[in-house]
Amino acid sequence: MNETFERYNRRTHIIGRAVTVATLIMLLGAPFCIGGVLGAMPDLGAVARAFLSVGLVWTVSSVVEFLVYTPMLGAGGGYLAFITGNLINMKIPCAVNARDMVGAKTGTAENEIISTLSIATSSLVTILVLALGVLLLAPLQPVLQSPVLRPAFDNVVPALFGAMAYRYYRRNMDIALTPLVLMSALFIFVPSLTGSTSFMVIPSGGIAIAIAYLLYKKGRKGASN
Amino acid sequence: MDILQQLNSAPVYLICGLIVAFVAAVCVVFMVRAWRAGIAIGMDKTKMKRAITASATFSVLPSVGILLGVIALSGSLGTPWPWLRLSVIGALHYETQVAQAAAEQVGMGTLSAASMTPSGFATIALLMSVCIMWGMVLSVFFNKRYTRKLGAGSGEGKGGGFGDLAMTAMFIGLVSAYIGSYVGGFVSGGGLFTFGGDWTPLVVVAAACLAMAGFMVLSEKKKMAWLDSFSIAGSMIVGMAAAVLAGAMA
C-alpha cells in the first residue's frame, strides 16, 4: 500500500507544481491579453505602488493561510485549494467536513485521498454554478438580488459556521469555550477588528490548539472529533 | 462601444473561459487520480462516494453566494473577469476590497463603470492577480517539503495522534473567531456596548446550529445515516431562511 501511495504522492507533487505554475502564468497573462483586446496595457508603475499599499497585507495573509491550512488540506488538496481559492468560506470547511464524515485521520493516506476528492468536487461545483449563473445572468440577477432574498445570501458564511459549530463544539466544548469567549470579548471591546477576522483566526486557533495540547497531555482528550 | 460592452465582449469571455476550463480539467484530473489511488490502496468505495456527495451538496449554497460576488463586480469590471476570478484562486471577501483599493491607486476614486478606462481595467486586473498569487507560489516551492515534514500525505501516518486533535482545534479556533466577530458586531457594532449592531448573523448561526442538532439526532439516533451527507447544506438553508425572516422583521 505504502509503495502505491508513495508513487501517487510523488506524481501529485509533479502534476500539482506543473498546473500551479501554468495557472499562475495564465492568471498573470490574462490582464495583458485582455488589455490587448481593449487596446491598452496595465500601468506597471501603478501596480507596483498599489501592491505596496494594499498587496503586502494580502501577501502576509497568503503566507499565514499556506502555513495554517496546508496541513488540513494535504498535498493534492493543498495544490487544488490554492488554485481554486475561497479557502475559508468553502474549501477548508468542506474538506474538514468530508474528513470527519468518513472518519479519516490526519497524516493518513485515506485523509489525503478524501481531502483531494472533496476539494476537487467542491471546486467543480463552484465552477459549474458560476458558469450556469453567468449563462443565466439576466433572468437570475433580479431573483438573487431581490431585497427579500438578499439577507439570505449576505449570511451564507454565518449559516455555514453555525452548522459547523454544532458539529465540532458538541464533543469539544472544553476546547471551544475559551477561544469563543476570548474572541467575543475581543471583538466587543475592539469592534474595528471585525474587518480583520481572517487574521484573528490565527490567535484563536493558537489558543484552541494550546488547550487541546494540555488536555491531550493530561490524557483527557483523545484524537477523535 | 462603451467600456462595459468591451469588457463583456466575446474575446474577453474566450480568454477567461479558457482559463476556467483549464482549471476545471485540473480538478477532474486530481479527482480521477485520487479515486483510482483510493481503490488501489484498498479504500472503501462507499466512503469515497460519500465524501464526494457531501462535498457537492455542501458547496452549492456557498457557490450561489459567490455568484452574487460576480454579479456585484460585473457592474464595474464586466462579467467575464469576476467570473474568472471567483472560479479560480479568488476569494469572495478579497476581490471587492482589492478591486476597490486598486481603483483608488489608478486614480479612479471609486470602482465604477463610469470612471473605468481600458488601461485602468488592465491595471486593476493585474493587481488583483498579483496580490493573491502568493498561496500558489508557496505551494510550488514548499508544499512537498511542508507536507512531508508534517507527515501529512506521506501515507506513513497511522493517525490518531495529537496532529488530528490539533487540526480539529484549529478549525474550532477558526469557527470561534467568526462567531466572536458576530457577537462583537452585535454588541459594539453600533458603538461600544450599545447592542445596536447587526444581529442577523447571530440569529443565522443559532438557527443553523439548531438545525444541525436536529440532523445529527435523526442520523445518529433514528438510524438515518444517509441524511448526514446533506446535513450541512440543510442546516445552511435553515440558517439562510432565518436571515430572510430576520430581514423581514427588521
Determine the distance from the C-alpha atom of residue B89 to the mean position of all C-alpha atoms in its chain, rounded to a whole number: 10
Contact indicator for B79, B8 with CB cutoff of 8 Å: yes
If one counts every other C-beta atom within 10 angstroms of the C-beta of residue A14, the result is: 10
pLDDT of residue A63: 86
Contact A49 B105 (CB under 8 A): yes
Residues B107, B199 share a domain: no
Q: Answer whether residue B199 is part of any domain.
A: yes
In this predicted model, what pLDDT tens digit does every residue of A117-157 receive, in sequence order?
999 999 999 999 999 999 998 788 788 778 888 888 888 88
User: Which residues in chain B are closer than 8 Å to A31, comparing Cβ atoms?
Assistant: 122-123, 125-126, 129
Structurally, chain B folds into a number of domains equal to: 2
Question: What value does the mean pLDDT take over residues B202-213?
Answer: 96
Contact criterion met (CB below 8 Å) for B182 and A36: no
Final residue of a structural domain among B125, B150, B175: B150
Domain assignment present for residue A208? The answer is yes
Is residue B137 assigned to a domain?
yes
Higher pLDDT: B107 or B44? It is: B44
Structural domain boundaries enclosing B80: 3-150
Q: B113 with B47, same domain? A: yes
Question: How would residue B243 be classed by pLDDT, with cut points 50, 70 and 90?
Answer: very high
Residues B127 and B167 in one domain: no
Confidence of residue A1 (pLDDT cuts 50, 70, 90): low
Task: Select from B119, B150, B181 the last residue of a domain.
Answer: B150
**Which positions 154-173 of B are in contact with A (Cβ < 8 Å)?**
154-173
Q: Is residue A59 part of a domain?
A: no
Q: Let me know whether B50 and B174 are in one domain.
A: no
| Same-domain pairing of B25 and B146 | yes
B216-234: pLDDT as tens digits: 999 888 777 778 778 888 9
Pick the residue from chain B with its C-alpha nearest to A32. Answer: B122
In this structure, the answer to whether residues B109 and B186 fall within a common structural domain is no
How many domains, chain A?
1
Which conformational region is residue B187 in: left (phi greater than 0), alpha (psi within -120 to 50 degrees), or beta? alpha
> Which of B150, B176, B210 is the last residue before a domain boundary?
B150
How far A28 CA sits from the closest chain B CA (Å)? 6
Q: Could you tell me if B65 and B180 lie in one domain?
A: no
Measured CA to CA, the distance from residue B119 to residue A211 in angstroms comes to 52
Alpha-carbon distance of B129 to B84, in angstroms, equals: 11
The verdict on a CB contact (< 8 Å) between A200 and B177 is yes
- From the list A66, A89, A105, which residue is nearest B164 (CB)? A105
Which chain A residues touch B167 with a CB distance below 8 Å?
71-72, 96, 106
- How far is Cα of residue B186 from the mean position of the Cα atoms in its chain? 24
pLDDT band at B242 (very low <50, low <70, confident <90, very high): very high
Residue A130 lies in a domain: no
Distance CA B177, CA A157 (A): 12
* Residue numbers of the domain that contains A190: 171-225
Same domain, B203 and B80: no
How confident is the model at residue A225, as a pLDDT? 45
Is B156 domain-assigned? no
Residue B155 within a domain? no
Contact A28 B24 (CB under 8 A): no
B121 and B187, same structural domain? no
Domain annotation covers residue A41: no
Q: Is residue B76 part of a domain?
A: yes
Closest CA to B239 of B199, B221, B212: B212
Looking at the structure, tell me whether residues B10 and B131 fall in a common domain.
yes
| Residue A211 placed within a domain | yes
Q: Is residue B157 part of a domain?
A: no
- Same domain for B124 and B180, yes or no, is no
Q: Is residue A194 part of a domain?
A: yes
Q: Residues 6 or more apart from A69 whose CB is under 8 A from it?
A: A78, A81, A87, A92
Instruction: Scan for cell 430581514, then name that residue.
Output: B247
